[in-house]
Structure 1
Amino acid sequence: MRHNIALLLAVLGAGCCGLVAAQYYEPIQSDNGMPWRGKYGDMDICHHDKNFTYTYALDFKFDDLNDLDNVGGNAVKLYCRDHAGSISGYVTSIEGKRGDWQGIHSCPPHAFFNGFRLRVFPEQGTWGDDFGVDNIQMSCEDGTIVDGIEGVLTEEGVTDEVEKSVLRQWVDKVERKMEVIRYNIGKTRIHGEWGSWVYCSPGMYVVGLRTVVEEGHIDDDAGLTDVILYCF
């Protein structure tokens, strides 16, 4: 197995003898990541006052491809909330030093993430420039797709007018930035190929993540190379 089942112990109740049960998080992992390259960060799980919350919003740290050693993605944040809509912060893992956060984009109200896929630029050999994970897309339980760079891909299912306004502003910003990049270096921010979608088991949602980042080498870093999500 590429990654073993994560096991955490939690005390669920106390009686004459005490009741201890095991809680299993289901890991899901892309089929095109490069987990053999880089350092594994810590696993981070949503929680609030000893209760579970679930991920619903994404922010992606990305380095524009204008360096001698390009790295693309550098980190992922997933924001957490409960079924009542109360936000309980975010989860993240190891973070590369380069790049900028692209902005927070979320599922429609009362929807949670249940799957994802990665766009990865594969290893380019001895003389090539590797930059690992180029983008991430998260799937909401209602079918909405949240893209790490472009935000919510459609307005379908987004009912709040403020959210729609933010979405339109973000799309305009992305388009302008991409035009500048094309003009200056003759490149777009699209590299690599999308892997297959992977999903939590039915009735489960993404509650945490762990990432792998390669940096600090003299020759060629790949930045973010793999993402592991945990469902509950």
Structure 2
Amino acid sequence: MEQGIGAKLLLLLCAAQCRHLRADGLSDHTSVIEVTNGGPWGDWAWPEMCPEGYFASGFSLKVEPAQGIPGDDTALNGIRLHCTLGDVQHVIESKSARWGVWSEPIWCPNRGFLVAFALRVETAVTPGDNTAANNLRFRCSDGTELEGLGLSWGEFGEWSDACAKGVCGLQTKIEGPRGLRDDTALNDLRLFCCRT
């Protein structure tokens, strides 16, 4: 069974049976949106959710700049969602890798909120310096498209489905440090749709 399908089934079963999980916010979403071009390496980390009543209105990326030869490039290392309720902000982050620096937040205009995403991923090459995910685009509730300040390797895949009521959480797939072997850091992303 594919990991994405397994995770959706687990969330559906849990919504029906795991009432004790309400404290961690997982019951605050109705569905998971994903893309089909995520990188193959790493493991899914924990989900992080906006506080109840908040919507993700912006994002920032943790990116390692190009390392040159003979450096080991990792490109996109982390993603933060900036959740808002009126003028109050709250930042959430699933697991991030250790390389790179955080960008300033990029916001949807006119108090809009994030509804869909597309991931820029470099195809795996063997042998070679793989980077997996390199950049991220979001679509806002008014149709505006925002692009992060990631790197340009690879191609953007298809857009995810859209969240009808906005994005309220995220989960990242991260490959941990591999010592002298090739590091890729962030490989894939899931977003959780708001319930209300």
Fold-level similarity (TM above 0.5): yes
- Structure 1 counterpart of 2:134: 134
- Structure 1 counterpart of 2:67: 66
Would you say 1:231 and 2:193 are equivalent positions? yes
Would you say 1:37 and 2:63 are equivalent positions? no
Residues in 2 aligned to 1:10 and 1:142: alpha-carbon distance in whole angstroms: 35
Q: How does 1:39-118 map to 2 (within 5 A)?
A: 39-47=43-51, 51-67=52-68, 68-82=71-85, 85-118=86-119
Residues in 1 aligned to 2:19 and 2:48: alpha-carbon distance in whole angstroms: 16
Query: In 2 relative to 1, CA 231–191 (structure 1 residues): closer, same or farther, beyond 3 Å?
Result: same
Q: How does 1:187-198 map to 2 (within 5 A)?
A: 189-198=151-160
* 5+ long unaligned stretches in structure 1: 12-21, 151-188
Q: Deviations over 1:51-72 (max 9, x none)?
A: 3211011100100011511010
* Residue 23 of structure 1: how far off its partner (Å): 5.6
Number of aligned pairs? Answer: 176
- The list of structure 1 runs, each at least 4 consecutive aligned residues, that deviate by more than 6 angstroms after superposition, is none
* 5+ long unaligned stretches in structure 2: 21-26
Alignment RMSD:
2.0
Q: Contact 2:177–2:185 (CA<8 Å) still a contact in 1?
A: no
- The TM-score, its normalising length taken from structure 1, stands at 0.70
Give 3-state SS (helix, strand or coil) of 1:199's partner.
coil
- Work out the percentage of aligned pairs sharing the same amino acid: 25
Structure 1 letter corresponding to 2:44:
Y
Q: Deviations over 1:152-206 (max 9, x none)?
A: xxxxxxxxxxxxxxxxxxxxxxxxxxxxxxxxxxxxx3110100011334x3211
Give 3-state SS (helix, strand or coil) of 1:109's partner.
helix
